Structure 1
Amino acid sequence: MDVVVSAAGDTPFKPVAEIAPEDYEAAFRGKVLSQIELVRQGVGHVAARGSFTLISGVLADEPIPTGSAASMANGAIEAFVRAAAIEIAPQRVNAVSPTVFTESLDDYGSFFPGMPSVDLARVTEAYVRSVEGAQTGQVYAVR
C-alpha cells in the first residue's frame, strides 16, 4: 500500500459550561485516536516512501463558541502530524485543515459566522498535494 487517507472524525459541539468530560473523551477518540491508529498500525503496511494524510480543521486556529472539543481534537491532530513526521521518515504524514465545506453550509454554516466556506474540490486538491508531494509534517490549511 502506498497511501492512507483519512477524512473522518466526529466531535460534539456544546458550550464549555455544558460539555462533560465524556464529550471531550468522545472527541478525542472519534477524531484523534482513530486517525493516530491509522498511522500507528499503517506504518508496517505502507511502502517505505508511502504517505498518510489526516484531517484536522479550522477550529485548531480559529475557535468558535461551542467548538472547544473540536478545537482540542484538531490541535492534537496537527501536533501529532508534526511529531510523527520525524519518527516515521521516510514515510510521510500530513494533515489537511479545511474550514466549513460549502456543500454543508445548510447544516453547519451557522456554527461558523463570518468564516468563508471552501468547496470540496479545493479540499480534494489539498489531499492530492499531500499524497503526491514530497512534504511531511505539514498542515495544509484550506480557507
Structure 2
Amino acid sequence: MRIIVVGAEGDIGKAVCDELGFRHEIIKAGRSSGEIQVDIANRASVDAMYARCAKVDAVVSTAGDVHFGALGEYTEETFMLGLRHKVMGQVNLVLAGLAKLSDGGSFTLTSGVLDRDPIRTGTGAATANGALGGFVLGAAIEMPRGLRINAVSPGLLAVSAPRYGEWFPGHEPVPSKRVGLAYAKSVEGAITGKVIIVG
C-alpha cells in the first residue's frame, strides 16, 4: 500500500512509520518536515498535498495542535485552536481525500486519552478528542467505495514521558510498539467507525 502519514516526525508518527514502513510505501508529510509539507488546518494546502501524491491507499494523521491551560484562562480563541487544527485539520484530510483514496482504502485519525482520562489544563484536548470520536462514528456509515475510517486514541507514549509526564500524574505510559500496532489494526484490518484505545 501507499500510505500518507501526516505528522510522521512526531513521537506517534514515528511509531506508525516504524510499524508500517517495512510492509508498505510511506509518504511522510508534516507542517515543516517530511517529503511533503502540509498545513492540515488549510484546506488548500491539503488539496495540494493530495495533488502531489496522486492515488494513495491509506492516510494516517497523527497531527493537530491544541491549547493547554487552566480552564478559567481559556478563551473562545484558545478553544478554537484545537477545533481548527486537531479537529478540522483531520476532517479536512478526510473530506479532501474521499475522491483520492483507492477503493477500499482507509483513513486513520488520532484523538487521545484526555477525553476519557482527563488532566488539569487538558480541557481543550479533551474537547477535540471527543469531537474526533464523534466524527469517525458518523462518517463511517457514509464512506463511499468501501472506504473505512477509524481513530486511534493513545495514552501518553513512554518515549514522550520525559517531556510531558509531569502533566499526566498517575498515567501509565504506553510503549511505542503497542501504539504502532493500533494503527496497523486500523490500516491493515477491516474495522471501521471505531476509536481504538491504547492505554
Give the TM-score taking structure 2 as reference length.
0.70
| Deviation >3 Å, runs of 4+ | none
Higher strand share: 2
Tell whether 2:140 aligns with 1:85: yes
Distance (Å, rounded) in 2 between the aligned partners of 1:112 and 1:84: 31
Return the letter of the residue paired with 1:52.
F
- In structure 2, what is the equivalent of residue 21 of structure 1? 76
Q: After the TM superposition, which residues 1-143 of structure 1 pair with which residues of structure 2 at under 5 Å, given as runs?
A: 1-89=56-144, 90-143=146-199
In the alignment of these two chains, the number of paired residues is 143
> 1:140 is paired with a residue of what secondary structure?
strand
Higher relative contact order (CA 8 A, sep 6+): 1
Output the aligned Cα RMSD.
0.8
Corresponding position of 2:28 = none
Question: 2:97 is matched by which residue type in structure 1?
Answer: G
Counterparts of 1:95 and 1:127, CA distance in 2:
9
- Greater Rg, structure 1 or structure 2? 2
Structure 2 spans left out of the alignment, 5+ residues: 1-55
> What is the SS of the residue equivalent to 1:52?
strand
Q: Among all aligned residue pairs of Structure 1 and Structure 2, give the percentage whose two residues are the same amino acid.
A: 47
Q: Which runs of 5+ in 1 are unaligned?
A: none
1:79-134 deviation line (CA, Å, top 9, x unaligned) = 10000000114200000000011111111101111011112211110000000000
